[in-house]
Amino acid sequence: MSDEHEGIDTLRRAIDDLADRLPERHPRRRTWAVSWAAVAAGVIVAAAIATYRFLPRPVSPASLGVEVKFLRVRGLDVEVRVFEAARAGTVVIAPAIDRRDMQRPVGVLVGSEGGLR
């Protein structure tokens, strides 16, 4: 019987020895937790930036650096908001009136000398 318990007693002694030397909690998990927290924070920031960049937003003339100019249309001077050029040789304008729903940009050609037509 004692022979049969020899192995289990050896195992028990070794486990007791090992258990006494183990720390309360290994610091590795904390490092991992910090790493995961950093990764999670990065993902959240990236998602926020992507949302900000790609979600459709209402176009507001004021958000595009507006300059108000007068444009002669059929003999009348019309006040318009002039936006940055979408591509070379063009600008985008919108009627300069107070109603926000009317402040949608519309395209207009610009001559090579830079004047509005």
Partner 1 sequence: MTSPDLVRLALAARAGRGVEEERLWEVVRPRLVRIALSLGVPAADVPDVVQETLFAAHRALGRFDPGAGSFEGWLGTILVRRARNLARSRCRRWRILELFRTIGLPVAARSPQALDRLEARLVVERLLGCLSVSQREVVALNEIGELDAAETAQVLGLTPAGVRSIARDARRRLAEEARRPAGTGKERS
Q: Is 29 in the site for partner 1 (CB under 8 A)?
A: yes
Number of residues binding to partner 1, judged by CB under 8 A: 23
Nearer to partner 1, 10 or 60 (CB): 10
Closest approach, Cβ 36 to partner 1, in A, equals 14
Q: What angle do CA 42, 44, 49 make, to 5 degrees?
A: 95
Closest approach, Cβ 8 to partner 1, in A, equals 5
Q: Is 12 in the site for partner 1 (CB under 8 A)?
A: yes
- Between the alpha carbon of residue 17 and those of residues 13, 20, 32, the distances in Å are 6, 5, 28
**SS3 call for 27:** helix
* CA 36 to centroid of chain Cα atoms: 20
Q: Which of the ranges 15-23, 76-84, 86-94, 106-114 carries the binding residues for partner 1, by CB under 8 A?
A: 15-23
Q: Are 77 and 68 in contact (CB under 8 A)?
A: no
Q: List interacting residues with partner 1 (CB under 8 A).
A: 3-8, 10-12, 14-19, 21-26, 28-29
